[in-house]
Structure formats: structure tokens, C-alpha cells
Chains A and B, each alone.
Chain A
Amino acid sequence: MVNRLISITEGDITIDGRSVRQLELTQLRRGIGYVFQQIGLFPHMTIESNIGSVPRLLGWSKSRIRERARELLELVGLDPEGDLRRYPGEFSGGQQQRIGVARAMAADPSIMLMDEPFGAIDPIARERLQNDFLRLHRQVRKTVIFVTHDIDEAIKMGDKIAIMRDGRLIQLATSDQLLASPADEFVASFVGEDRGLKRLRVRMLRDIELDPPSANATPAPQVRDTTSLHYALSRMLTEGVNRLDVIDEEQRHVGSARLQTIMDSIAPASAPKPGESHTAAA
């Protein structure tokens, strides 16, 4: 609907304050990168031509398109020299979707629409693609609308998650808020019985209140402050300790995390109040 592949029946969608209904259709679409489950690479075009599809429509020069294709292949983790001249049929599903992502980003659109992009890819390759896309997203900041049926994928990929049911928006929240206080039964069952455990994944040690470093404490295993609570807890369980020393980027000891602190951070008392989620800004 955003790129009007499906027409809008009711309401409106605005991009930078302008309604998508007012924008010229082809202009609108060329400005939105689109990645979807079936990938839809053009089988008769080389990878270079596939990536260059939209730039060519926009009238870029050949050399600029080639340069851009190289750059993007590198970015999505493919071989920018060898793979440029090959055809989609020569790549696996996961590689094809990397090319699909590269193609969608070719003209550097400010918005990317991703409709279950990794849905048809085997779990191991999907995991890698997710991680690579997250890394990519940190390098190239864009507004990404990511549609998925997999709540874990949503929690992992999304800054903000909108839960839709039968075409209605049920809840819009950060993954942490969503797990802490689901809006209703439906959302609660959708995020899963183990939402407490899942929440451990979305919070990092630096998000919780640490005990200040103390000189007379016995040394504990060291972990980075960007470690997830999930991993920290796992470390405690496997090493049989109830305290970890947290270090920052420069290896400075910034504090200690106790088992109790982690538990408290997940406990209902510290959760954001329901209703707050809607107003939470990104």
C-alpha cells in the first residue's frame, strides 16, 4: 500500500508530510526500495543490470551504475568483481535475497519496504542475513518498514514494532515495551509465554543499573557492556557465579551486574506502564 501496489481504500499514508496518493506513481515507487519474499530478480539480466534497474530508469550513466553495483555487492557481502556478470539462476536463495536487498538500495531510497524478506530462506542463512542486514542498517541509516510473521524476527530487527491483526493496529511499541506489557491477550500469546526470556535478549547490560566498581570485591568473569542480558545470564548459569564485571569499549571496568539486578530489570515493577508505549518516541 505504501508503494501503491495495492491501492488505498480508506485513510492515507504520508511520506515527509505528502500523501502517497498525490505523488506520481512511478516517482513514488522509484523512491522506495522494495524487497519481498519471492525476491523477483530478473532472470534474464546480469546481477549488474538487476541492481541497475532503477538507476537506469533514473537516467544514471553506465559507469556510475557499475560503480554503485560494485559498492552494493560489497556491502551485502558478495564478490563485487566476479558476481557482477553472473545471472540470478547461479545463486542460492540466500544470495539472491542479498542481491534483492542490493537492488532495492540501488538508487539510495530513503525508505525501504521489506515484505517478509527472509521468509523463504532456511533458518541458518536467515540468521546470517538478519545479522548482516542489521549491520548494514547501522552503516546506511534508512527508514525500513519490515513485515514479518515471525515475532522473534520482529523483536530482533525492529526499533518499533506494530502488531497488526485483521487489518487493525493492535499495538505500536519498542520491542522491550511490547514484551514487558503486551496490549492484550492476543499480543501476549503472539509474543509468547517466554516473553520474560525474550526480553533478556533485547536489553543490554548498559541498559540496567549496575553496581559501581568496588576495589575490595572478588574479581568476576568480564563481559562487555553491550552484552545482552540473555547472554549475561547464560554466563552466570554456566560459570556458576551470580555476578559479572562489566567493561566498556576501552576495557574500563564500569560496574558489576548481579543476578538480582537482572531479575529486577525484567520484573513488572520496572516495566513501562501500558499506554505509555503509544507515545514513546523513536
Chain B
Amino acid sequence: MSLPVHPILAAGGGPVIPNFGGASKCVVENHQFCMSWFLHNFNTVFGPRLVQHIVLTAIAVGVGMVIAFTAAIIAYKENWFETPFSLLAAFLYGIPAIALFELLVQLTGINVFTAEIGLVSYTLLILFRNTLTGLRGVSDATIEAARAMGLSSRQRLIRVEIPIAVPAIMAGIRIAAVTTISLATVAAYIGAGGLGEPIFEAIQTGFKTEFIAAGALAIALAIVVDGLLVLLERLVTPWRRRTLQGA
């Protein structure tokens, strides 16, 4: 198996600056950050990887949500299911990313699919716990009112319990999304692409601008996504915005 990068090279060899045609002085001398190089190469180097990164994350959180949500509904109805699923999810969550990816590579090879399996498995714990906590947080009075109205258990779930759990679920999606953005950078190591790719490129070349640009983009992406999800949560839960103080 040949790995896409070899860290010993980066640690041992001197910087190998990529020459993208007419390298400026800044690039040749490997200054801290070459803004003109960054801007010139944004569309070819960073833009597509940024998109890749977003797609990787969205798929992982989406698939993770489907699995975790189903599991949480089952655990909500059948209490015994909570412990085994929690333990499994907590175990997966506890494995360091690079170790999990390396282990998965042995099974499914170096590709995006393997990366997604890893990323999905990291989202499960948070999404499961938050969804279940949200469902269990529905007050007994609310459930009693719904029952007394003649809502079936299915109607109750869809019209009352799940909507009331939305803030907790959204909080879980937020954490899962930023965690996945973080881990997806590592997933580039097993060929998933995304913003980790320029980082691993830079590890081989020692090109500082690429280190800083890719790192900063990943951080910016995480913070922007976090902020957008906060906005989305407010949008979908108008009832949490205004409440009587102390009522």
C-alpha cells in the first residue's frame, strides 16, 4: 500500500516549493504568507477543495443524522436500546481520527468511501445523545395534553415530541458539523480530498503559505458553518426566541 504522503520526507528534506509558473520572490524565499500567490491559486488549489470539504462534511452529517435519529427514536421507545448504542458510538468517538482511518483502510481501502465511514462514525455519539435528550426533555404535561386530545403515539411523535426536540437536535448537528469539518482535514490522508489535501501537500513541500492558507480556510469554514447553524436553529424555532422572563 502506498500512502499519499510521507512525513519523514517533510521532516528531513528542505522545502520543495511548487512552481506554478513565474513564482514570485515571496514564494521562492518561502515567506510567512504570500497573499498574491494565495489569491492567484485560490480558484485552482483552494476553491475546489473547499467545496469538496463541504460535501464530505454534509454527507457525513446527513448520513450520521439518519442513523442516529433512527437509533434515538428506537431508544426513546425501547429504553434498553440506549446503552448498547451509546457504548458503541462512544467507543467509535474515542478512537483518534488517524488511527480509525488507518484501521478502516485495511478493510475498505484508500478512498472517499472509507473516509465517509470514519466521519459518519464520529457523528453518531453527539447526534444520538442530543436527539434522545431532546425527546426525553418534552414535558410530561405536554405529552398528557397530546394524549388527552386523542393524538396517536405516532402523531404525538411527529407533531409534538420531535418538533420540541429540534433545539437539542440542532445543537447536536452544530457540534457534529464542526467536529466533522475538523476530522475531514485528517481524512485527506486517506485520499478523501478537501482542505486537508493542501495541508498534506505542504507537509511534503514545506510551503508556508499553503500551510497557513489551508489551515485558516478550514478554521474559517468551521466558524462560518457553526454560525450559520445557529441562525438556522433560530429560524426553525421561532418559539424559543421570545419568552416571558421567569414564567
Query: Most B CB atoms within 10 A — which of A3, A32, A42, A86?
Result: A42
Shortest C-beta distance, A114 to chain B (Å), equals 11
Instruction: Enumerate chain B residues within 8 angstroms of A34, measured Cβ to Cβ.
Output: 145, 148-149
For A26, give the chain B residue with the smallest CB separation.
B150
Residue from the list A27, A36, A42, A92 in contact with B150, Cβ < 8 A? A27
* Beta-carbon nearest neighbor of B145 in chain A: A40
Chain A residue with the shortest CB-CB distance to B243: A89
With an 8 A cutoff between CB atoms, is A244 at the interface?
no
* A38-B139, A38-B144, A42-B160 known; A57 vs B244 contact (CB < 8 Å): no
Q: Which residue of B lies closest to A92 (CB)?
A: B247
A43 and B149 within 8 A (CB): no
**Which residue of chain A has its CB nearest to the CB of B242?**
A90
B149 close to A54 (CB less than 8 A): yes
Tell me, in angstroms, the Cα distance from A113 to B148 when the chains sit together.
Answer: 10
Query: In whole angstroms, what is the CA distance A45 to B162 when docked?
Result: 13
Q: Are B163 and A44 in contact (CB under 8 A)?
A: yes
Contacts of B160 in A (CB 8 A): 42, 44
- Which A residue sits closest to B140, measured CB to CB? A38
B151 within 8 Å of A by Cβ? yes
Query: What is the interface size of chain A, counting residues whose CB is below 8 A from a CB of the partner?
Result: 32
Chain B interface category by residue count: 20 to 34
The distance in angstroms between the C-alpha atoms of A38 and B143, with both chains bound, is: 11
Kindly state whether residue B99 has any CB partner on chain A within 8 Å. no
Say whether B147 contacts A38, CB under 8 Å: no
Residues of B within 8 Å of A3, CB to CB, are: 148
Residues of B212-247 at the interface with A, using a CB-CB cut-off of 8 Å, are 237-240, 242-244, 247
For the complex, give the distance between the alpha carbons of A32 and B148 in Å.
8
Taken residue by residue from 1 to 38, chain A's Cβ proximity to chain B (1 for < 8 Å, 0 otherwise) reads as: 00101000000000000000000011111101010101
Q: Report the bound CA distance from A28 to B150 in whole Å.
A: 8
Which residues on the A side are within 8 Å of B164 (C-beta)? 42-44
* CA–CA, A27 and B244, complex, Å: 35
Q: Closest residue of chain B to A87, judged by CB?
A: B239
Kindly state the separation between the CA atoms of A132 and B37 in the bound complex, as whole angstroms: 75
B139 CB, min distance to chain A CBs, angstroms: 7
Q: Which among A26, A45, A54, A91 is the interface contact of B247 at CB below 8 angstroms?
A: A91
Interface residues of A in 51-90 (CB under 8 A from B): 53-54, 57, 86-90
Chain B 139-167, CB-CB to A under 8 Å as 1, else 0, gives 11111111111111001000010011010
Q: Which A residues between 108 and 126 are near B, CB-CB below 8 angstroms? A: 113
> Is A39's CB within 8 Å of the partner chain B?
yes
**Chain A residues closer than 8 Å to B140, beta-carbon distance:** 38
Taking a contact as CB atoms under 8 Å apart, the answer to whether A89 and B150 are in contact is: no
Contact call A29/B150, Cβ cutoff below 8 A: yes
Interface centre among B139, B155, B244 (most CB of A within 10 A): B244
Q: Does A93 contact B (CB under 8 A)?
A: yes
A188 within 8 A of partner (CB): no
Report if A41 contacts B (CB, 8 A).
Answer: yes
Residues from chain B with Cβ under 8 Å of A113 in the complex: 148
In the complex, chain B residues 59-93 whose Cβ is within 8 Å of any chain A Cβ: none
Decide yes or no: A89 and B142 within 8 Å by CB, A5-B147, A26-B150 being known contacts.
Answer: no
* Cα-based distance from A36 to B139 in the complex (angstroms): 14
- Known contacts: A25-B150, A38-B139. The answer to whether A44 contacts B237 by CB under 8 A is yes
Shortest B67–chain A CB gap in Å is 25
Q: List 8 A-B contacts (CB under 8 A).
A: A25-B150, A34-B149, A39-B145, A54-B150, A88-B239, A89-B242, A90-B242, A91-B244
Nearest 8 CB-CB pairings of A with B? A40-B145, A38-B141, A29-B150, A89-B243, A40-B141, A34-B148, A26-B150, A87-B239
